Chain A
């Protein structure tokens, strides 16, 4: 979420889910909301159907929300910045800007206006394939709306230009003044249930909890005092990101990796690289619920308790901190992750004492300003949206009211950069990846649910019927999808949801791990890998599904690791 942090000073969703129905315009890009965030998708549909909101969809695929859209801009994957720049161009050209807002609350407008002066809708059409008139219409719809909300998810951040995409959305909100009021704003939909919380808690190499920079000496002093450790304990240099950790393991700089509750074997881009990296370290510890692909490589596997077996808090995508409560006992010797960590810290000589999660939360709140006023006692009465600075503060549904976290909202001039890898003669198709409704992320949870597995049991590659006809492929045929990095097999699904020349696959299935194909070129600022776009070739295989071991008759198996 580096894009928003730069333009507004804070990287979280600026508005609340409950306000969606009050918006009169929803602008959704790079989010298949009805599948990835179904209940937010439901609110969007309710806003359109029941309350007459209009919906602009900027998405290459004919997703479900397209049925609710006033306008569907189907850009070529990776050309978002071109389209968004052209929308900004029209807003400025036709005097649709909110001049008061720009004057009072933003900076950098003049330079930005100059930078989009030559981004005509026609130029964007040539790059993106979106008709110029649709771009003009989108500009008018967005700027004329009373309250407009912009939403995006990984479809927009998983590009080498991900940070730019976010900044381009931010430019639109600042131009039209659609931020800082209820039912407006910039709303990144976070994927997994507690991504927001993991980031808030300092699960990033450059910040302590509460996004307090490790490079800042005053902050390091504060944490040294708060945690009772010598100031010299903390380096001033940020640590390594996931991708850098894997590279470091390959170079021999990283000797041990401790992994809690993640399966990077499935969720990382360019999987072959990850396997080699994890294999190269001297010592790998995995703490998880299941013997997943990563756990199988570990030297020590520690059994963890699941969500229904422990007390704690999750923070949802709208910054709402909510309790989870134990309903059942963990199986066998499994223990909550916090208890394991505490035990390990004590063995490493730390004098830590905590009575339980409430106690840990209370300490965290003393060093994390956004959470300072939140206690378990208050959470018992319902979730609270941060920032919540004091015990009396009711929480903050809408961010940036009256003032941005960084002071003034910053316009950013953006150059269009094409994706790192585009189709060519040898790899003529463009692969993009995403989620489906019935499964979740790497599938470690949902694929163990017999009901969900029955509905969506096998990996599919969606291709356009025209391409299928050309390749002689019928529905259900096994396809081999090959990129410069690897190849996987999946069943063909013929659909007009994707445009000709595109292949769409999910990353829920271990037996055809799509991330074997994807590229680990990363966005230079946010370091999010470019999952969404890479070049592939497709061929039909002459054998049946079951002979390949995909489909409902077989157990999930990883192509890289022999079955246990």
Chain B
């Protein structure tokens, strides 16, 4: 049997049940998941997604660099990778320009039911306290 470098307890990313899982890691790769028996939520059980669906994290098409495009018609493959500094300066500059020209309510933020509480909290705070708009929603009503 493979000996893991690390076993990390975490929460299944798929559905709202929130099963507790152990991730087994070897050489930086996630290779096995098992359910935690000490969790009152799943008592060691997992469904097929939780047990076997984790390999998306190593999918070959993961984004690995910020991408910018120059004009609208440009195909996705033609976009060029850039640095975080360049990308975020660009985003901040454009958001500021649009807010100045059209007001804060011309900007909208869509949060995510897949991201953490901390991330959702921070983006809505960015929208409300920094940009100054309540145009904040997520796709969970869908």
Contact = CB atoms under 8 A, between A and B. Distances in A.
Given A283-B94, A316-B41, A323-B10, A333 B19 contact: no
A253 interface: yes
- If over half of B's interface residues share one DSSP class (helix, strand or loop), that class is named, otherwise mixed; here it is mixed
Interface string B126-142: 10111111111111111
A302 B16 contact: no
Given A312-B117, A448-B56, A448-B61, A262 B138 contact: yes
B2 interface: no
Contacts of A521: none
Contacts of A40: 17
A264 B138 CA distance: 9
A259 B20 CA distance: 28
A475 interface: no
Contacts of B111: 198, 201, 203, 260-262
A227 B125 contact: yes
A150 B59 CA distance: 39
Nearest to A268: B142
Contacts of A237: 134
A357 B17 contact: no
Contacts, number: 436
A38 B51 CA distance: 12
Interface in A498-531: 526-529, 531
A342 to B, nearest CB: 7
A193 B65 CA distance: 26
A193 B64 contact: no
Nearest to B115: A261
A313 B116 contact: yes
Contacts of A255: 98, 101-102, 106-107
Interface size class of A (residues with CB under 8 A): 35 or more
Contact of B110 (A257, A440, A452): A257
B16 A308 contact: no
Interface string A293-319: 001101111111011111011111110
Contacts of B62: 289-290, 303, 306, 331-332, 334
A242 B142 contact: yes
Contacts of A452: 48-49, 52-53
Contacts of B47: 38-39, 42, 437
Contact of A451 (B52, B133, B142): B52
Given A260-B119, A326-B8, A360-B121, A320 B18 contact: yes
Nearest to B70: A299
B40 A197 contact: no
Interface stretch (A130-138, A344-352, A416-424, A484-492): A344-352
Contact of A195 (B12, B69, B119, B140): B140
Contacts of A336: 119
Contact of A361 (B114, B118, B133): B118
29 contacts: A39-B19, A193-B15, A193-B16, A203-B124, A214-B134, A237-B134, A245-B108, A253-B105, A259-B109, A290-B62, A308-B8, A308-B30, A314-B18, A316-B18, A317-B16, A323-B11, A324-B13, A332-B62, A334-B62, A338-B119, A347-B92, A348-B126, A350-B126, A383-B39, A445-B14, A448-B55, A449-B53, A531-B142, A564-B75
